[in-house]
Structure 1
């Protein structure tokens, strides 16, 4: 497997818009002091905040992103980065298990939309109803380094479109890469033809996170969805 040098700006990660809004509890109180008390209470059950305080069996808290000195110097997006590594599906995703997350992104928005749209369509399939709208916000980030690259290896089991096959293979593969010191992986999108994706295994390589555009994925009676600005 080859290594590819990356020095690219504005790779796109899409997150649900509800995860990008101000804290929902703030509207329940009248002062910042009361909001802080509610936030402290919420933190007792927040996987991200617990990991920031204590770490997890598979994630050292020192790997996560924190403010540099003062609160007003906090990096934009640090909570989003930390959340990507602390909130996971129980069975994991293509290149991460259920006990440690990862930052998935792509070189263009359409590829990211097809990736997140696939998962939302699966959820709609479970209830048998394809009438839905989901608003997503772009998180843009920069990356630099030399990373393993799966392009040209389309037959690799980790790229199988069936999650029951591709995910277990991909999780084992990614664990091996991490043991060998690799901090990320370039791979062809499984959901978007000619799409190019990147997964960061290490929060420390995610640079200059900032917000981008917003998009709505719309289902109108079938598994195929539209992308609207």
Structure 2
């Protein structure tokens, strides 16, 4: 069992960035001429929507009863736990998602730009523009504290995902399943001095609200131009 360093967390205004395309109405909505047609389209859309499928059947390690409903932004919260990147992320695998956020907007920007830059590098073309919306959330719970540690101290914090992610996923599983803690606080590997938080359960994400819009634009270079577009 991992040596735990639990801390009580009461953190307001953590920041998660999502693409503004996810703020728009469902793409099928304009196609529905009446209420009955809308229900039919909703059924069709759910056939390929991982979040809706997980609401009914869950994921291998996510019980649908854990998802939240009836609160502002519940679909965004549930999506974080039901839409899993192939191979997972630093502290979750494909069997269960997690909610990642940062204490500072610059840290959130550094985290998302790292991943998109990797994708652009894979195709050899640093030419794109993406708008991201801030989602603020508050947290209250008991978290394992990795702040102040480096990759030499904790392999889960290694900057290389091929090393850091397998170690982090194993660590997170031990903390979530065995220790029953709510998540992890950790030093950002993408921005010096940044702090990140990962929450293991949907109900931990409280008071979700939208903030500003940020544009990340790649103009032939790996480093994006970042600009604030307003609310």
Task: State the TM-score, normalizing by the size of structure 1.
Answer: 0.93
5 Å-filtered alignment, 1:10-25, equals 10-25=13-28
1:8 is matched with which residue?
11
**Which position in structure 1 is the counterpart of 2:89?**
93
**In 1, Cα distance between equivalents of 2:116 and 2:110:** 10
Residue 113 of structure 2 aligns with which residue? Answer: 117
Once the 2 structures are TM-superposed, how far is the Cα of residue 115 of structure 1 from its aligned partner?
0.3
**TM-score normalised over the length of structure 2:** 0.92
Distance 2:16 2:112 in 1: 9
Deviating 4+ runs (over 6 angstroms): none
Cα distance between partner residues in 2 of 1:215 and 1:53? 34
Deviation, structure 1 residue 223? 0.4
- Equivalent of 2:76 in 80, 100, 112: 80
Alpha-carbon distance, 1:35 to partner: 2.2
In structure 2, the partner of 1:69 is none
Partner of 1:131: 127
CA contact (8 A) 2:141 2:182 kept: no
Flag structure 2 segments of 5+ consecutive residues without an equivalent.
none
Question: 1:122-178 CA deviation, whole Å, 9 max, x = no partner?
Answer: 000011011110111111110012211101221210010000100000000100001
**2:148: which partner in 1?**
152
Gaps of at least 5 residues in structure 1 are 67-73
Q: Does 1:171 align with 2:161?
A: no
| Alignment partner of 1:43 out of 26, 43, 46 | 46
Number of residue pairs the alignment of both structures matches: 222
8 Å Cα contact 2:138/2:206 also seen in 1? yes
Partners of 1:96 and 1:102 within 8 A in 2? yes
What RMSD, in angstroms, separates the aligned Cα atoms of the two structures? 1.2
Q: Is the 8 A contact 1:90 1:99 kept in 2?
A: no
Cα distance in 1 for partners of 2:141, 2:68 equals: 19
| 1:63 aligned onto 2:66 | yes
Q: Residue 24 of structure 1 aligns to a residue in which SS?
A: coil
The Cα offsets for residues 100-125 of structure 1, whole Å up to 9 and x where unpaired, read as 11100001111111000000000000
Aligned to 1:182: 181
Offset at residue 45 of structure 1 (A): 2.2
The residue that corresponds to 2:226 in the other structure is 227
